[in-house]
Structure formats: structure tokens, C-alpha cells
């Protein structure tokens, strides 16, 4: 079964209403899946590649056919505009990205773009004209697989992509930023002139797959995102004394791995002390010298700490550091701390969450609230504009993988929620 057949096979056709078509959405998800299709049936469309461009080009064609006015900025961001009854009002913006990680899935990004476009398609059938302009957006290079960064399109649109940061970037093939940009027909000068007049934009609302299991466990198709967690990354080095595993008695050791191990074990009890959405993960560890008969002299490890509120996230960082200090000093281990990243979390306003709740309830769906642990274009746009985010159920929480899956019925439910949100925005 190909992707289209699989999507429509268990689709609840009663969701085809008010101009929304599940079959059209499925056909479009399937068409995009063909661009950069890998032998594992995954998606390979890294940012600023010809595959990402080809995916944008086909969506531009659909936008034009749906009657949207299509423009592209210097960063390659695509905007498809539906004029409002009052064209001078700031526009509502909805969309996501069409780039992927290497061998990724077919829903992370494309769903947000195609669902936003499906709202405009529905209006074409029903004749609805929104009060304010509505724009469908495709942001460039969200995943960051090319330069190990990401969010290039959304950062450019809000004026946060700087020459200093970008011109020094080298991509996975060793090519400069300038070469990469020029290879797909963009120009560096125009790239840095793609900031939009933000007074012309009202808010950004993004549909995205959850990439977790909460909605599946809750048995609901969609959820309301309460905020986007900001990560803080710590690099901790525990230094003890290496020695012979046979000749050093147990009471005369400074084993860096024993201290690090205790620390790792205790980290998991800390997030619950600050909030229910906070998380902390030790994901990377290096043992030196890493020999079978040598007492570990040094351990380097990473800690990834996130929450959706800055205050609780920062409190958790302090708790983690305190724990590392007490554990190491009790064992005569030296501790070195390096902070390599601290991104501000983006809380989503209560007002936006309530607007979404109304639209979720209007579809007969129980409103479920959940944080986003991963970063999205909404996190960047949220620096300057109000944002709202709708998560859609992910099968088994699998993402960034060819097995990524979301049922078509759940995708279409998210379209109805978005459509209701936009149509009711000025009521
Ligand atoms: Zn994404």
C-alpha cells in the first residue's frame, strides 16, 4: 500500500464537511512524500536542498490554484495570502516547514503547511471570506540538518538571522552558507532583507505532530500546546584519579564514574520538584580512559534541561548543579561545569490557549493541554508575535523516522480546529 492508500484506508469520511477534504489532504501528503523519498520509504529533504525547493514549488502551485496570492522572500519562505474583508488588518499566519531530517518522516512539517492550505481550500468551496488576511507559510530550513542550527526561515522573517551568525556557517558537505544559498537561486543580500513588517502580522498558529505519546494515551486526536520548552545544556566533567582496578583498595579510590553514576541516578528525581512539565536528561557520557581494568579518572557528560517557563527551567538548572556539586564533593571528586546553551522557553498565552480550546470543543473533542518539549518555528516567531500551537496525535510517539505516522482522521480534525480558530478569530 502506498502512503495515499494507507492514509485513506481507515479515514472517517464523515469528517469531510464544510469544504474540507480528507482525500485532497492525503493526496498532497503523499505527493510531498515522493520528493526525496529514501530506500527506507523515509523523507530526505534537508534545508536549502533542491528537494526542499521542489516541495515548496509544488505547494506554491497548489496555493495558486486555490486562489492564494503567492510570494517568496529572500530566505525562501513562501507565503500564500487570502485577502480579508479588511485588508489593512494584520494577517493571521499559519503553516510550518517542508524540510526534514535525513531519512525522516512525512508528517513533521508538511502536515502544518498542508492543513493551513486546506483551510483556504475549504473557503474556496464555501465562499467564506475572513475578516482579516490569512496567510499560509512555509518556513525554510526548520530542522537544521544542513548547518546544525535550524529555524533559518522563521528567524529571517522576524529579523533574528544575523550576517555574523550565518555567513560563518559551513554545511554538512563543507560548503559555505553563500554557496548553499546561491545554489538554490537565492541571494545572500536578499536573505538578510527578509524581515517582515511585524505590525502587519497578528499572530502565528502552527499545526504539528506531537512527536510524543500523550495524545495517543489520552485517546484524543489533537491537543493544545501550553508552551514550547527552552533547553539549557550543561557539560559536566567529574575528575577523580585513575588507578589499577586490581591494586587500588576500595577505600582508597576517587572513581569519577561512581560519582557520575550517582548523579545521573539522582537527576531523574529533580524535575518533579519544579513543575510537571520540566524534564532533565543525561544523554551523552564519555568515560576516560574507558578501560576494563582501570578506575575511571574522568567522566564527561551532558545534561539537557527543559521547561516551558523560564523561572522553573532555571530553578531546575540550579538544582541539577547543586546535586552535581554535593555528589562530587562527598566523594572527593573535582567538578567542572560548562553551560553550552540556554534558550528562552516560549510560553503560549492563556488567551490563545482559550481560543483554541473553544475550537477544539466545537469539534466535540475533549480539550487536552500539553507542553512541547521540542523546538518549532512557533518558538522563534513567539519571540515577537502571539503564537498558538495544535498538536496532532503521533502513532507510538515515533518521529524523525520513516515510521512516523498520524491517522488521516486526526490530521483532518486538526484542520477543522484551525479553520474554526481562524474563522472565529474576530467574532
Ligand atoms: Zn517540525
Residue 343 has pLDDT above 90, yes or no: no
Ligand 1 centroid to residue 258 C-alpha, Å? 38
Ligand 1 centroid to residue 399 C-alpha, Å? 9
Give the DSSP letter string of 46-92. Answer: -TTSHHHHHHHHHHHHHHHHTTPEEEE-TT--EEEEE--SSTTSPEE
Band (398; pLDDT cuts 50, 70, 90): very high
Tell me, what's the pLDDT at 172? 87
Tell me, what's the pLDDT at 340? 86
Quick one: what percent of the chain has pLDDT higher than 90?
Answer: 95
Ligand 1 centroid to residue 398 C-alpha, Å? 13
Taking the CB of residue 290, how many other CB atoms lie within 10 A of it?
11
Ligand 1 centroid to residue 220 C-alpha, Å? 20
Summarize pLDDT for 24-63 with one digit per residue, the tens: 999 999 999 999 999 999 999 999 999 999 999 999 999 9
pTM of the model: 0.90
Is the preceding omega at residue 289 within 30 degrees of 0, hence cis?
yes
Residue 413 has pLDDT above 80, yes or no: yes
Ligand 1 centroid to residue 143 C-alpha, Å? 7
Band (147; pLDDT cuts 50, 70, 90): confident
Say which range, 261-270, 343-352, 413-422, has the weakest mean pLDDT.
343-352
Of the candidates 390, 424, 27, 404, the one whose C-alpha atom is nearest the C-alpha of residue 225 is: 390
Ligand 1 centroid to residue 338 C-alpha, Å? 29
Tell me, what's the pLDDT at 308? 92
Ligand 1 centroid to residue 210 C-alpha, Å? 9
DSSP 166: H
Summarize pLDDT for 277-290 with one digit per residue, the tens: 999 999 999 999 99
Ligand 1 centroid to residue 111 C-alpha, Å? 9
Band (149; pLDDT cuts 50, 70, 90): confident
Amino acid at each position: 500500500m502506498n502512503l495515499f492508500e494507507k492514509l485513506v484506508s481507515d479515514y472517517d469520511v464523515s469528517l469531510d464537511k464544510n469544504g474540507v477534504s480528507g482525500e485532497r489532504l492525503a493526496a498532497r501528503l503523499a505527493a510531498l512524500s515522493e520528493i526525496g523519498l529514501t530506500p527506507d520509504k523515509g523523507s530526505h529533504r534537508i534545508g536549502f536542498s533542491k528537494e526542499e525547493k521542489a516541495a515548496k514549488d509544488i505547494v506554491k502551485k497548489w496555493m495558486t490554484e486555490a486562489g492564494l496570492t503567492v510570494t517568496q522572500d529572500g530566505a525562501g519562505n513562501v507565503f500564500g495570502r487570502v485577502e480579508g474583508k479588511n485588508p489593512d488588518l494584520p494577517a493571521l499566519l499559519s503553516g510550518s516547514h517542508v524540510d526534514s531530517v535525513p531519512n525522516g518522516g512525512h508528517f513533521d512539517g508538511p502536515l502544518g503547511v498542508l492543513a493551513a492550505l486546506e483551510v483556504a481550500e475549504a473557503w474556496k468551496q464555501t465562499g467564506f471570506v475572513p475578516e482579516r488576511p490569512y496567510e499560509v507559510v512555509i518556513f525554510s530550513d526548520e530542522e537544521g540538518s544542513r548547518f546544525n542550527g535550524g529555524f533559518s526561515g522563521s528567524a529571517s522573517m522576524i529579523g533574528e538571522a544575523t550576517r555574523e551568525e550565518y555567513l560563518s556557517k559551513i554545511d554538512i558537505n563543507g560548503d559555505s552558507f553563500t554557496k548553499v544559498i546561491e545554489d538554490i537561486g537565492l541571494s545572500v543580500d536578499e536573505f538578510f532583507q527578509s524581515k517582515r513588517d511585524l505590525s502587519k502580522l497578528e499572530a502565528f498558529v502552527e499545526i504539528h505532530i506531537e512527536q510524543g505519546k500523550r495524545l495517543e494515551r489520552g485517546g484524543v486526536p489533537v491537543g493544545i500546546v501550553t508552551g514550547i520548552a527552552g533547553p539549557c545544556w550543561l557539560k559536566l566533567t567529574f575528575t577523580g584519579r585513575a588507578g589499577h582496578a586490581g591494586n587500588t583498595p576500595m577505600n582508597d579510590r576517587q572513581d569519577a564514574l561512581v560519582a557520575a553514576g550517582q548523579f545521573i541516578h539522582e537527576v531523574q528525581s529533580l524535575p518533579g520538584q519544579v513543575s510537571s512539565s520540566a524534564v532533565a536528561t543525561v544523554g551523552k557520557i564519555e568515560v576516560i580512559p574507558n578501560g576494563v581494568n582501570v578506575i575511571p579518572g574522568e567522566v564527561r557528560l551532558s545534561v539537557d534541561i527543559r521547561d516551558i517557563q523560564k523561572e522553573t527551567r532555571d530553578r531546575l538548572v540550579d538544582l541539577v548543579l547543586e546535586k552535581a556539586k554535593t555528589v562530587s564533593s562527598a566523594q572527593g571528586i573535582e567538578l567542572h561545569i560548562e553551560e553550552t546553551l540556554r534558550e528562552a522557553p516560549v510560553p503560549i498565552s492563556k488567551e490563545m490557549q482559550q481560543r483554541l480550546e473553544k475550537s477544539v470543543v466545537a469539534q466535540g473533542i475533549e480539550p487536552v493541554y500539553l507542553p512541547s518539549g521540542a523546538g518549532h518555528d512557533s518558538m522563534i516567531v513567539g519571540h515577537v508575535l502571539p503564537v498558538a500551537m495544535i498538536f496532532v496525535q503521533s502513532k507510538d510517539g515515533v518521529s524523525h523516522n520513516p515510521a512516523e505516522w498520524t491517522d488521516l482522521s486526526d490530521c483532518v480534525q486538526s484542520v477543522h480546529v484551525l479553520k474554526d480558530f481562524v474563522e472565529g478569530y474576530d467574532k
